[in-house]
Structure 1
Amino acid sequence: MRAAFSDTLVALAKADPNVLLLTGDHGYALFDAFRAQCPDQYINAGIAEQNMVGMAAGLARAGFRPFVYGLAAFVPVRVVEQIKLDIAHDDLPVVLCGDGAGFVYSHLGTSHQSTEDIACTRAIPGLTIYSPADRFELAACMEQAYAQKGPVYMRMGKADLGDVHTLPPALPMNQFQPVARGLGPVTFIATGSMVRTALDIQEAGYPDAAVWSVPSIKPIDENQLVEIARGSRLLCVLEEHSVIGGLGAAVAEVCSIHHPVRVLRIGVNDRFSHHCGSYKYLLQEHGLDLSAARAAVDHAVANLQP
């Protein structure tokens, strides 16, 4: 995914000299290609994320197309006020790229982990939120973010889990993307890194279940979601994010109004990590590893009313 991010950003910048990359002193190796091919379009704003977002807003007003890169714990979480007032309020075409969402920066502790970024940004009016699952979705989301000319938050999680698609997904990216077809009573809906987990659960124990990836958290395709819900008795929503205010919450909100159905939310519960450890360890501690997620699904299926 990181290579796709770099390649797509370079392609956009070479095609449009107004595309600028701003980074808060991060990602030097990641941006080697960009700095080599588009050196005049690269700005290292230093470890001053609030100022960087304000700078991006000013550049957008001057006709530039800023892409702002940082760790998701800092962009957007540290700069929510600046995103709200400097960018979203005036509908400026700034793309905010938060890398390492979820527990990716595991050993660095709570300060560098981001499990609340979707919740923080969902409530900001007019801000689109993308959460791609693989390199295909990431490239498509970036291209769509550039084309739509409005404020966007791009959430990027664990980057080395492999592809969930074999071909580029269908546009527009605000639609649910099919990963596995099925007509069973259980449907898996996931975003980001957890699409791989959903697919693994489906392949291991629920071969007749459909798996849908949700690269667009906001806007979410309500009509498509209702159609999916009408064909299911249980929606299993997986995300490497808090169960409060994330994808599972969005799914439950839509279904409660238009088609009530059982929604199982598999995500981070309302607590901090108890211990520091590896990415694998933190997934286990929070019940997001394959074994725990599968057990949660099995329990919900066993308790479905006949």
Structure 2
Amino acid sequence: MRTAFSDAIVAAAETDSRVLMLTGDHGYALFDPFRKRCPAQYINCGIAEQNMVGVAAGLAKAGFRPVVYGLAAFVPLRVLEQIKIDVCYEDLPVIFVGDGAGFVYSHLGTSHQSTEDIACTRALPGLTVLSPSDRYEVTAAMQLAFESKGPVYLRLGKSDRGDVHTGPVSFAAGELLQVRSGSGRVAVLATGSMVRTAVDIVDGGLVADVWSVPSIKPLDRGALEAICAEAESLIVMEEHSVHGGLGSVIAELVAGLSRPVRVCRIGVNDRFSRYCGTYDYLLREHELDAASVARRIAAFGVAAA
């Protein structure tokens, strides 16, 4: 996924000299190709993330297309006020990239783990929130971000759990992408790293449709309504807090539909990680590994075939 992001940003910068890459003193190996091919369009703003957003806002007002890169624990969380006032309030075309969302920076502890970023960013007016699940969705998300006339937050999980698509895809803002077809009675809606987990569980015997949700905000209400017209149960999966994330988005939209549908929200419960450890360990601790998710789905009343 990171390679797809690097390729997309290099291609965009070579096509358009207004594209600038801003980083807060990290991501060096990731940006080696960018610095080699577009050195004049690379700005290291240092460990001063709030100032970096202000710089990006000024550059956007001057006609540039800044891409602001940071760890998701810092961009957007540390700079939320600056994103709100400097960028969103002015409706500026700045792309924010939060890398390592969720538990990927597992050994670095809570300070570097980000399970609140969707909740924070989707509350900001005018900010598009994208959460791709594999390299193909990353490429499509970058294209959508550069086509946008307003601010965008792109959430990268970095975990690279494997492709969920067999080739390139494209999607419009709000669009859902079906990656597995089942009975239609159960629909799994997942985003980011959890799409791969959803696919694995369905391939393991759960009879359900699987939909990837690369666009958290906006999200196509009509598409969701069409899914709910067939489904009896929705299972929402995300490597993010159950408060304010994709599960909340789905529950809020479903609450307004005329036909009631049961919603099972699978995400991070209201707590921090108890211990440091590997990424796989933290998924198990928070019951987001495939075996734990399958048990939670069964407890909800949806069993595998």
Aligned-pair Cα RMSD in Å: 1.1
Q: Provide TM-score, normalisation by structure 2.
A: 0.97
State how far apart, in whole Å, the 1-side matches of 2:264 and 2:65 are: 39
Deviation at 1:97, TM superposition (A): 0.2
State how far apart, in whole Å, the 2-side matches of 1:139 and 1:166 are: 14
The equivalences for 1:183-202 within 5 A come to: 183-202=183-202
Cα deviation digits, residues 233-284 of structure 1 (max 9, x gap) = 1101000000000000000000011142110000000011111111111111
Q: Is 1:13 matched with 2:13?
A: yes
Deviation at 1:158, TM superposition (A): 3.3
Q: Tell me the amino acid that sits aligned with residue 52 of structure 1.
A: M
The equivalences for 1:93-242 within 5 A come to: 93-206=93-206, 208-242=207-241
Partner SS for 1:296: helix
Tell me if structure 1 keeps the 8 A contact 2:173–2:219: no
Larger relative helix fraction: 1
Q: Which residue of 1 aligns with 2:289?
A: 289
Deviation at 1:159, TM superposition (A): 3.5
State how far apart, in whole Å, the 2-side matches of 1:260 and 1:299 are: 20
Deviation at 1:182, TM superposition (A): 2.1
Q: Which residue of 1 aligns with 2:253?
A: 254
Gaps of 5+ in 1: none
Partner SS for 1:8: helix
Cα deviation digits, residues 176-196 of structure 1 (max 9, x gap) = 011111234211100000000
Tell me if structure 1 keeps the 8 A contact 2:160–2:193: no
State how far apart, in whole Å, the 1-side matches of 2:22 and 2:102 are: 22
Cα deviation digits, residues 155-178 of structure 1 (max 9, x gap) = 000332111001222431420011
Cα deviation digits, residues 120-150 of structure 1 (max 9, x gap) = 1111000000000001100111111001121
Partner SS for 1:78: coil
Gaps of 5+ in 2: none
State how far apart, in whole Å, the 2-side matches of 1:202 and 1:270 are: 27
Partner SS for 2:219: coil
Partner SS for 2:256: helix
Tell me if structure 2 keeps the 8 A contact 1:134–1:159: no
State how far apart, in whole Å, the 1-side matches of 2:38 and 2:302 are: 56
State how far apart, in whole Å, the 1-side matches of 2:176 and 2:302 are: 27
Tell me if structure 2 keeps the 8 A contact 1:102–1:114: yes
Cα deviation digits, residues 19-53 of structure 1 (max 9, x gap) = 00000011100000000000000000000000000
State how far apart, in whole Å, the 2-side matches of 1:144 and 1:81 are: 24
Tell me if structure 2 keeps the 8 A contact 1:190–1:237: yes
Between the two proteins, the alignment pairs up a number of residues equal to 302
Q: Which residue of 1 aligns with 2:60?
A: 60
Q: Provide TM-score, normalisation by structure 1.
A: 0.97
Q: Tell me the amino acid that sits aligned with residue 222 of structure 1.
A: R
Partner SS for 2:68: strand
Partner SS for 1:103: coil
Tell me if structure 2 keeps the 8 A contact 1:170–1:177: no
Q: Is 1:78 matched with 2:94?
A: no
Deviation at 1:301, TM superposition (A): 2.2
| Residue range with higher mean Cα deviation, 163-172 or 25-34 | 163-172
Cα deviation digits, residues 98-130 of structure 1 (max 9, x gap) = 000000000100000000000011110000000
Q: Tell me the amino acid that sits aligned with residue 37 of structure 2.
A: Q
